[in-house]
Structure 1
Amino acid sequence: METINGQLNRKLRMALVGGGQGSFIGRVHSIAACLDNRAELVAGALSSNPEKAKASAPAYDIKPDRAYGSIEELVEQESSLPEDQRVDFISIATPNHTHFSIAKTAVEAGFNVVCDKPMTFDLAQAEELKALVESSGVVFAVSHNYTGYPLVRMAREMILNDELGEIQAIRSNYIQGWLRSRLEEEDQKQAAWRTDPAKSGAAGAFGDIATHAYNLGRYMTGLLPEEISCNLKIFAPGRQLDDYGHATIRFQNGALGTVTASQISHGRENDLFIEIDGTKGALAWRQEEPNQMVIRRNGQPHSVYTRDPNAPYMNESGAAACRLPSGHPEAFFEAFANIYRSAFDAMVQRISGQSFEAKDTIYPNVYDGVEGMFFIQQSVASSDENGAWLPFQCESARR
């Protein structure tokens, strides 16, 4: 018996695709997945270069016989192992253009998946992947990791419980400055693929970071989009993809939203910040100061909520996302780990033969991935039409 009273009596076994030498996000995935001691990294295809893949394995304590040279080899070999040895899930930490083929191979073989965003290269791939996930019954999570911060989850529960009233405006921004110069011409790995249309997709900054900003507003409010108008711009001469952009979104309830993304703003690092206005109050949260959230109500003192799992004002969703007492900062790794922890609960349910929620989940899922690709597609299309208002009703959107 692998499960007792719905609890798994072992660690989930993880395989990592990507994350080889020079990678940033692969290491984040491995640390986050194992942070709560519910999973262990036992296999990987760490690079598209088989030699580099195998050479990278010792840094992750992956044994040579489970250091594979490709996703195909990984899936074939792991599928041939007994059920009590093969991996339970595959994490994808590779450039955008490879996500679909890797995820498709994993899903068709029946493996659960945690995939970086944006989920695929284009919307057609996203829709196909959604259909595969639905038919296979696997757990599929997308690493919009900012949804894992305790105060983000607290804000979400507050909004859904009508504590801010009817939501009327969302201002979500992600501002960076690292691509002010043409780093892609200096053989900088991260810049090279993110600014290459063949690897990044139809958008640059909007595909890379505006997707996070848009997803954060959707996650916190639950509002469904209706139309979008967007203007994208390339400010670095010679660059092929946008490095700045601004979108306005009309939501079905009448609210307005804005999403601004920049990778050319001097001195800015990973400044994702959001403000939400409701009829009863407004809130503001900043990723670079993630353990504070400001609530404002006219005629009352501004309230600064801090991340404190034991405080009476902390709701269930916020407290459940905390690991440390107040005053001990929790940040990026812990938020990322919360995506994994929530997905693990669903994986355990699947292993034990139980049904599990696949659409309206606490973690971002394949439906969020489809909506993210629709956001990119319609943003680029609108910008190509000089900011024309285009339909933005995604049939796959979570409620």
Structure 2
Amino acid sequence: MMKKIKLGILGGGEESLIGILHRVAANMFDQYEIVGGVFDSEHSRSVDFGNKLQLDKSRIYRDLDHLVEAEMKLPENERMQVISVLTPNFLHFPMSKQLLENGFHVICEKPLTTTLEEAKTLEKIQQEKGSIFGVTYTYTGYPMVRQMKTMIQNGEIGSIQKVDVQYYQGWINPLIHDKEKRSTTWRLDPEKSGISCCIGDIGTHAFNMAEYVTGLKIQEILADLNYLYEDNPMDIDGTVLLRFSEKTKGVLRASQIATGEENNFTVKIYGDKGGLKWEQENPNYLYLLKEGQALQVLKPGHPYNSEFSLEGTKLPPGHPEGIFDSMGNIYFGIARAIRKEKGFEGAFPKLSEGVRGMNFIEKTVESHKQGNTWVKL
């Protein structure tokens, strides 16, 4: 019987918004066993949370230093093999660096780090150590996103000529207009978030998705960001023009002050033979547009979909799958890589994609500060 991969978690405790997403995803394909971690900066809360998960109390550690020291003393077949980093942005780099240097595989939330220099440092260490490193650009795990990627790769919409990605939320709107609230929110603190809020948080998802589904690399960008208040150091809204090549252009729109929006992530790709549209809030529908033909709606689980799409479909047609399934597919792809099994290309976002994401964040801010000029990536 195949042994489960031993998984540790940093962050993701009682008050975490994403902890449950990662835990459910890790359990989805029966590939992982959560064995311990550091779930909270306050050790007593971490222990209480670990007890709720019915974990061995001896593996609920005070901090990362204690975790690494104790785990490295265990026999190799008993210690944690991979560790998920679910902490605020400023901790991603030091934690991931320490884990890589000690031979652990890593799954890290995005943005990968707070600076491009840090991201490149991680990439260098990872290449030296040969560890598996996944960055959770969650939405790449949806079956119909993978179907979109395959159809574009197979030339079903022809040569790409227009890319339009939009990610609109409204959650910062109630905070940004209150001086005290906006000054005490960690997302709007450069020391904890890095140089960007909106682009760093959700704009990087849109950037990654644009390159993921098209298979193209963005070469140049021109950005216009909105900070709304003089005392707010972090962007909360932005529009970025994209140049993939001389003939392929696009636009990326991201906002956290789109009043009333929840998680409106929309991807539209247009080729010279057709177009494809996908919406995260209705993720089980992929729309295919052809000139002079009726709109086609593709859904997961049907045999007309690609093998890549079907691998990530867990239920029969007509049974909705969502964000947990998407993250579960990414964890499954990482598990296969750890086991050195053959998997689909694009089964999980790699460290190199996290590095490109950090480059995009920094160049976007640079473009805006230079007076909205074109900047090469």
TM-score over 0.5 (shorter chain): yes
Partner of 1:290: 283
- In structure 2, do the counterparts of structure 1 residues 242 and 187 end up closer, same or farther at CA, with 3 Å as the change threshold? closer
CA distance in structure 2 between the partners assigned to 1:312 and 1:344 by the alignment: 25
Per the alignment, do residues 325 and 102 of structure 1 end up closer, same or farther by CA in structure 2, a change over 3 Å counting?
same
Provide closer, same or farther for how the CA distance between residues 94 and 171 of structure 1 changes in structure 2, counting only shifts above 3 A.
Answer: same
> 1:46 and 1:284, CA in 2 relative to 1: closer, same or farther beyond 3 A?
same
SS state at 2:243 partner = strand
Q: What amino acid is aligned across from residue 153 of structure 2 in structure 1?
A: L
SS of corresponding position for 2:282 = coil
Shift of 1:247: 0.4
Q: CA deviation at 1:95?
A: 0.5
Q: What is the alpha-carbon distance in structure 1 between the residues aligned to residue 167 and residue 257 of structure 2?
A: 11
Q: In the alignment, what sits opposite 1:337?
A: 328
Deviation at 1:186, TM superposition (A): 6.9
Match of 1:142 among 113, 132, 135: 135
Provide the residue aligned with 1:204 in structure 2.
197
In structure 2, the partner of 1:227 is 220
Q: Name the aligned partner's letter for residue 325 of structure 1.
A: P
Structure 1 residue 39: Cα displacement: 0.7
Match of 1:77 among 70, 79, 95: 70
How far off is 1:254 after superposition? 2.7
Conservation of the 8 A alpha-carbon contact between 2:199 and 2:254: yes
Q: Name the counterpart of 2:169.
A: 176
C-alpha contact 2:160 2:248 (8 A) present in aligned 1: yes
Query: Does structure 2 conserve the Cα–Cα contact (< 8 Å) formed by 1:292 and 1:304?
Result: yes
**Distance in 2 between residues matched to 1:100 and 1:333, nearest whole Å:** 25
For 2:283, what is the secondary structure of its paired residue? coil
Alignment check: 8 A CA contact 1:45 1:68 kept? yes
Letter in 1 for 2:363: Q
- Whether 1:320 aligns to 2:311 is yes
How big is the shift at 1:9? 1.5
Report which stretch shifted further, 44-53 or 367-376: 44-53
Asked if 1:372 is matched to 2:357, the reply is yes
Which is further off, 378-387 or 311-320?
Answer: 311-320
Residue pair 2:175, 2:181 contacting (<8 A) in 1 also: no
TM-superposition CA deviations, 1:299-320 (whole Å, max 9, x none)? 111101111x2x2321111111
Q: Secondary structure at the match of 2:61?
A: coil
Q: Which residue of 2 aligns with 1:363?
A: 348
Q: Please report how far the alpha carbon of residue 219 of structure 1 lies from its aligned counterpart in structure 2 after TM superposition.
A: 0.4
**Distance of 2:53 and 2:245 partners within structure 1:** 46
Identical pairs, percent: 36
Alignment partner of 1:225: what SS?
A: coil
**C-alpha separation between the residues in 2 aligned to 1:188 and 1:240?**
10
CA shift, 1:24, in A, is 1.2
How far residue 35 of structure 1 moved from its aligned partner, in angstroms, is 1.3
The answer on whether the counterparts of 1:169 and 1:278 sit within 8 Å (CA) in structure 2 is: yes
AA partner of residue 368 (structure 1)? E
- What is the TM-score with the length of structure 1 in the denominator? 0.90
Which residue identity lines up with residue 348 of structure 1 in the other structure?
Answer: R
Q: Deviations over 1:90-140 (max 9, x none)?
A: 001011110001101111111111000000111000000000000000000
State the SS of the aligned residue for 1:290.
strand
Distance 1:326 1:247, change over 3 A: same
Does the 8 A contact of 1:204 with 1:242 survive in 2? yes
Contact persistence 1:176–1:267 (CA under 8 A): yes
Q: Decide whether the 8 Å contact of 1:182 with 1:239 is kept in 2.
A: no
Give the C-alpha shift of residue 257 in structure 1.
1.6
2:269 to 276, 299, 302: 276
**Unmatched tracts of structure 1, length 5 or more:** 1-7, 393-399
3-state secondary structure, aligned to 2:85:
strand
Structure 2 residues without counterparts, runs of 5 or longer? none
Deviation at 1:211, TM superposition (A): 0.4
Deviation at 1:188, TM superposition (A): 9.6
Please list every run of at least 4 consecutive aligned residues from structure 1 whose deviation after the TM superposition is greater than 6 angstroms: 183-189
What is aligned with 1:33? Answer: 26
Asked whether the equivalents of residues 182 and 188 of structure 2 are also in contact (C-alpha less than 8 Å), the reply is no
Query: For the Cα contact (< 8 Å) 1:91–1:113, is it kept in 2?
Result: yes
Q: Which SS does the other structure have where 1:291 is aligned?
A: strand
- How far the C-alpha of 1:357 sits from its partner, in A, is 8.8
Contact 1:155 1:220 in 2 (8 A): yes
Query: CA separation of 1:323/1:188 partners in 2, compared to 1, >3 Å: closer, same or farther?
Result: farther
1:397 aligned residue: none
Give the Cα–Cα distance (whole angstroms) in 1 for the partners of residues 33 and 70 of structure 2: 18
Structure 2 distance, partners of 1:229, 1:60, is 47
Give the drift of 1:21: 2.3
- Structure 1 55/202 Cα, relative in aligned 2: closer, same or farther at 3 Å? same
Per-residue deviation at 1:54? Answer: 2.2
| Alpha-carbon distance between aligned partners in 2 of 1:24 and 1:105, rounded to the nearest angstrom | 24
**1:58 and 2:37 matched:** no
SS for the counterpart of 2:185 is helix
Counterpart amino acid of residue 322 in structure 1: T
* 1:119–1:373 contact (8 Å) kept in structure 2: yes
